[in-house]
Amino acid sequence: MSFPEITVLDRGFVRLIDHMGTDLTVVNAARVSFGKRKEAFEPKDAELVDYLAEHEHTAPFRHAYLTFHVKAPIFVFRQWMKHRIASDFNEISGRYVEFKEDEYFVPESFRLQAKVNKQGSEGELPEANRSAAREAYLTACQNSVAQYKQMIDLGVCREQARCVLPLGLYSEVYWTASLQAVAHFLHLRLDAHAQWEIRQFALAIKELTEPLFPNSLSALMKAPTT
């Protein structure tokens, strides 16, 4: 079975594995308060969806769920896994599998440290420093993986050998989240203050979610909070 997939960064991807519900699910979850249920989504139902999101009546949005298979660098997942409410993760385990030699993220360019935002970046590294920065980055990643492989060959267990691997190493997770949780993730990770790399994954999540819940996601993204 093939699943919708978007390539992200140099070796990553976001793949839609499964989903539960539609915009009609949100509408019916709200209307059950009045003992009512609809069989089809109508134009006026979009107004109800907008009202729910605008006034933060978010429970109906938590009856719809999506499951994604994501391959991303570990430093991206460090940020992503802060989104725990109404969502869950299962990650590939370095205790069970041996990581490949070249499965680490290599940036196309290097950014400067932001002068005002201590946790952010801005612009691009001066051309005079780019080659040296790339060489330092690749050397560090290659050496880490080489030492990891050497320890495996020496008989060191995988769960200890993996400790030397870089944060740029790619990992894989299944992420299942409610529609509200997905929208909350997008609100934060599409923001200009979010790290560029995770913003690329957020764009892919949004692209795969919009066709399934066009009215609900639009309403949640317009709302001041989710």
Catalytic residues: 189
Residue 71 and residue 174: Cα distance in Å, rounded?
9
- DSSP character for 224? S
Host H or E run for residue 44: helix 43-54
- Give the integer Cα–Cα distance in Å for 68 and 64: 14
Residue 164 C-beta-side C-alpha neighbours within 13 Å: 18
Assess contact for 8 and 200: CB atoms under 8 A.
Answer: yes
Radius of gyration of the chain (CA): 21
User: What is the residue type of 193?
Assistant: H
